[in-house]
C-alpha cells in the first residue's frame, strides 16, 4: 500500500477553495468555504491533516503562509 499524498487547501482567484495534491495540474475537489474544503481533504486522506493556506493576517501569520488544519 502506498503512502497517502499530502493535500493542500488554497483559495482560488474565483473565491472558491481548492483541495489538491502538491504540483497537481487541477484540484481534486472545490468548495465554497475553507471549512468545507478542509472537511473534504480530511475525507480524501483520512488520518492526515491538510496544509491550509492562510487567507488573512493574524497575530500568528499572514496570507501566503501555510498551517496545519
64: confidence class by pLDDT, cuts 50, 70, 90: low
* Domain-located, residue 50: yes
How many folded domains does the chain comprise? Answer: 1
Beta bridge partners of residue 65, listed in sequence order? none
* Domain-located, residue 41: yes
- Model confidence, pTM: 0.77
Find the domain containing 19 and state its range: 7-58
The pairing of beta strand 51-53 with beta strand 7-11 = parallel
Q: What's the mean pLDDT in 14-27?
A: 93
* Domain-located, residue 2: no
* Predicted local distance difference test score (pLDDT) of residue 68: 74
* Domain-located, residue 30: yes
* Predicted local distance difference test score (pLDDT) of residue 1: 46
CA-CA distances (angstroms) from residue 42 to 25, 31, 67? 20, 13, 15
Q: What percent of the chain has pLDDT over 70?
A: 78
* Predicted local distance difference test score (pLDDT) of residue 16: 96
- Give the span between the Cα atoms of 50 and 22, in whole angstroms: 11
Amino acid at each position: 500500500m502506498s503512502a497517502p499524498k499530502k493535500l493542500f487547501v488554497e483559495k482560488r482567484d474565483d473565491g472558491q477553495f481548492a483541495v489538491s495534491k502538491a504540483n497537481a495540474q487541477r484540484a481534486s475537489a472545490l468548495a465554497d468555504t475553507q471549512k468545507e474544503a478542509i472537511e473534504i481533504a480530511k475525507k480524501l486522506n483520512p488520518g492526515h491533516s491538510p496544509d491550509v493556506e492562510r487567507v488573512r493576517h493574524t497575530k500568528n501569520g499572514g496570507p501566503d503562509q501555510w498551517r496545519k488544519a
